[in-house]
Amino acid sequence: MTEMSYLDGNMLDGPMRELFTVDLSSAMGRCENCGTTGSMASLHVYSHAPGLVARCPSCEEVMVRLVRGPDRAWLDMRGTTYLQVPMPMEQTFPGPL
Selected binder of other proteins within 43, 55, 63, 80 (CB under 8 A)? 55
- The listed partner (Zn ion, other proteins, none) that binds 63, CB under 5 to 8 Å by sort, is none
Q: According to the binding rule CB under 5 A, does residue 64 interact with Zn ion?
A: no
Distances (CA, A) of 51 to 56, 66, 82, 89: 16, 6, 21, 35
DSSP 6-41: ---GGGGHHHHHHHHTS-GGG-EEEETTT--EEEGG
Selected binder of Zn ion within 28, 36, 42, 85 (CB under 5 A)? 36
Whose Cβ is closer to other proteins: residue 38's or residue 51's? 51
Rg of the chain taking only CA atoms, in angstroms:
16
Q: According to the binding rule CB under 8 A, does residue 59 interact with other proteins?
A: no
Q: What is the binding site for other proteins (CB under 8 A)?
A: 46, 48-51, 53, 55, 60-62, 65, 67, 69, 72-74, 76
